[in-house]
């Protein structure tokens, strides 16, 4: 059973490896990759001994221990990874505030602390009193969930940086399962200086010692090298009997991990209403900046959120060389700055870098004379935007694909906000499905 996998990012690579583990013949697997390097959003880049992840700082953690162990083994085993305690902060004025924000109210100046605590208690009281349901738009949800103080001081400005849209245009559905509900008792304790913890499932994470996060996908690539067609853009996908023809070549099955937005450009026979749904799926792009520093060491931090507008356009700063000492030459360190922009709009120019660097300086996180050099990367498809039309459009797009034996897979191939481990889980499930079909055939 000859299979075409469109895209050799983590989803496509994991699918191919999972199929091999189920007895699928390597010669029947064919991966099409437009770039010169496989890895997709997991790709990394090394410049003069400094390594960074081009689509933002990635970490390896998972609630699925079996999948996490498998990912480690693909990349060389436990010894190939650094084990790190997550130490994440929010930069507020000249202070470090514990993350998540509601667990760090005690770190705030007195005025903002009062605003946030009062608003949080009022919002909690109203929910208890009125038994109200979560509002459908994100802007209203933030105030329903956290109150005006946290909304004004953190949630609104931070999320406006990330999503680049009025928050009323974002659905609250995306926060389900992603934003833990801190007990009001924990927030009260935090406000008076008693430490509480949030996001405990990420308390420990892993990162490759060498090669950046791409080491994970490089490990998957090794057994598949002969079957990955690099620098090969998918130009045409046409129905042919019970199968498909990709770039003029016949295949029994096709799995797509390319962004659904792109399918109308090369897949023949998509009805116009389906093509319109695909093209309308909202997304954000990202510009990342490596900042190589003449600094011997960093504070013991993993990454920092920059919510305030005066801190510039950067929403997150990752202490890249703290992930692994292999990410910078000896005696040097590095930052990774992340700036999003609305997908489909022109890529910001050189002035954005200057704004980003100046904002980080104003935040008190570096001095200009520490900078050795910078490097920039751009990823078109980085974040799924959960606007109010996403669920309907995704259902139309994926239903058509599945009904036409064009299996959707991956963050943008299926339009689910998956982390790398969730991509592997979905790939495993798809491999099971395809293996059963092969057996039945």
Q: Once rounded to an integer, what is the mean pLDDT over residues 327-337?
A: 98
Dig out the tokens for 277 from the structure.
Answer: 């749904």
**Distance (Å) of CA 75 to CA 34, 202, 304, 321, 440:** 23, 21, 27, 19, 33
Residue 219 reports pLDDT greater than 90: yes
Q: Once rounded to an integer, what is the mean pLDDT over residues 388-400?
A: 98
Q: Once rounded to an integer, what is the mean pLDDT over residues 211-220?
A: 98
Residue 407's pLDDT is 97
100-114 pLDDT, tens per residue?
999 999 999 999 999
Residue 441 reports pLDDT greater than 60: no
Residue 269 reports pLDDT greater than 70: yes
Of the chain, the percentage scoring pLDDT greater than 70 comes to 97
Task: Answer for the pair 60, 219: CB distance below 8 angstroms, yes or no.
Answer: no
Instruction: Provide the phi-psi class of 408: left if phi over 0, else alpha when psi is between -120 and 50, else beta.
Output: beta
Dig out the tokens for 301 from the structure.
Answer: 């931090």
401-440 pLDDT, tens per residue?
999 999 999 999 999 989 999 999 999 999 999 988 777 6
Residue 200's pLDDT is 61
For the segment(s) 3-40+215-282+387-440, the CATH number from 3.30.1380.10, 1.10.287.810, 3.50.50.60, 3.40.50.720 is 3.50.50.60
276-320 pLDDT, tens per residue?
999 999 999 999 999 999 999 999 999 999 999 999 999 999 999
Residue 140 reports pLDDT greater than 80: yes
Task: Answer for the pair 315, 161: CB distance below 8 angstroms, yes or no.
Answer: yes
Residue 183's pLDDT is 83
At residue 199 the predicted structure's pLDDT band, cuts being 50, 70 and 90, is: low
How many Cα atoms within 13 Å fall on the side-chain side of residue 183? 5
Task: Answer for the pair 374, 290: CB distance below 8 angstroms, yes or no.
Answer: yes
Q: Once rounded to an integer, what is the mean pLDDT over residues 195-215?
A: 85
Q: Where are the domains of the chain?
A: 3-40+215-282+387-440, 102-192
Q: pTM for this one?
A: 0.95
Q: Cα(first)–Cα(last) distance of the chain, in Å?
A: 9
Q: Once rounded to an integer, what is the mean pLDDT over residues 162-177?
A: 90
Q: What is d(CA 410, CA 406) in angstroms, rounded to the nearest whole number?
A: 13
Residue 177 reports pLDDT greater than 70: no
5-54 pLDDT, tens per residue?
999 999 999 999 999 999 999 999 999 999 999 999 999 999 999 999 99
Residue 195 reports pLDDT greater than 90: no
Residue 436's pLDDT is 85
Residue 147 reports pLDDT greater than 80: yes
Report residue 320 CA to chain centroid gap. 16
At residue 181 the predicted structure's pLDDT band, cuts being 50, 70 and 90, is: confident
Write down the mean pLDDT value for the chain: 95
Residue 350 reports pLDDT greater than 60: yes
* Nearest CA among 144, 112, 140 for reference residue 131: 144
Residue 196's pLDDT is 74
Residue 182's pLDDT is 77
Q: What is d(CA 255, CA 266) in angstroms, rounded to the nearest whole number?
A: 14
Residue 178's pLDDT is 67
Task: Answer for the pair 289, 375: CB distance below 8 angstroms, yes or no.
Answer: yes
Residue 234 reports pLDDT greater than 90: yes
Q: What is d(CA 432, CA 308) in angstroms, rounded to the nearest whole number?
A: 46
237-265 pLDDT, tens per residue?
999 999 999 999 999 999 999 999 999 99
Residue 213 reports pLDDT greater than 80: yes
């Amino acid at each position: 059973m000859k299979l075409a996998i469109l895209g050799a990012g983590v989803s496509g690579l994991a699918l191919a490896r999972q199929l091999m583990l189920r007895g699928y013949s390597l010669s029947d697997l064919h991966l099409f990759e437009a770039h010169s390097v496989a890895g997709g959003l997991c790709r990394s880049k090394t410049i003069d001994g400094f390594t960074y992840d081009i689509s933002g700082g990635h970490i390896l953690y998972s609630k699925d221990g079996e999948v996490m162990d498998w990912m480690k083994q693909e990349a060389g085993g436990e010894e190939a990874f650094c084990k790190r305690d997550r130490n994440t902060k929010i930069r507020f004025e000249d202070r470090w505030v514990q993350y998540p924000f509601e667990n760090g109210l005690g770190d705030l100046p007195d005025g903002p602390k009062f605003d946030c605590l009062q608003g949080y208690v009022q919002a909690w009281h109203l929910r208890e009193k009125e038994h109200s349901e979560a509002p459908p738009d994100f802007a209203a949800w933030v105030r329903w969930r956290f109150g005006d103080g946290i909304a004004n001081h953190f949630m609104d400005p931070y999320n406006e940086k990330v999503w680049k849209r009025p928050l009323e245009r974002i659905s609250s559905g995306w926060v389900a399962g992603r934003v833990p509900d801190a007990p009001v008792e924990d927030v009260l304790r935090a406000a008076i200086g008693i430490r509480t913890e949030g996001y405990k499932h990420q308390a420990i994470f892993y990162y490759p010692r060498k090669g950046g996060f791409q080491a994970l996908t490089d490990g998957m690539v090794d057994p598949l090298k002969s079957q990955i067609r690099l620098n090969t853009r998918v130009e045409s996908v046409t129905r042919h009997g019970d199968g498909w023809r990709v770039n003029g070549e016949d295949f029994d099955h096709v799995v797509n991990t390319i962004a659904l937005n792109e399918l109308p450009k090369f897949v023949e026979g998509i009805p116009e209403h389906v093509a319109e749904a695909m093209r309308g799926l909202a997304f954000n792009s990202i510009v990342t900046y490596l900042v190589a520093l003449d600094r011997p060491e960093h504070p013991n931090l993993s990454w920092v959120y920059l919510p305030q507008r005066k801190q510039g356009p950067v929403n997150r700063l990752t202490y890249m060389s703290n992930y692994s000492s292999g990410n910078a030459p000896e005696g040097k360190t590095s930052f990774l700055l992340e700036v999003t922009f609305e997908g489909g709009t022109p890529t910001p120019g050189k002035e954005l870098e200057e704004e980003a660097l100046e904002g980080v300086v104003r935040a008190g996180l570096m001095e200009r004379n520490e900078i050795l050099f910078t490097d920039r990367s751009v990823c078109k498809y980085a974040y799924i935007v959960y606007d109010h039309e996403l669920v309907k459009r995704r259902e139309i797009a994926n239903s058509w694909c599945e009904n036409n034996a064009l299996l959707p897979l991956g963050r943008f191939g299926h339009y689910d906000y998956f982390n790398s481990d969730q991509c592997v889980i979905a790939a495993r499930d798809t491999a099971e499905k395809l293996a059963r079909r092969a057996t039945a055939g």
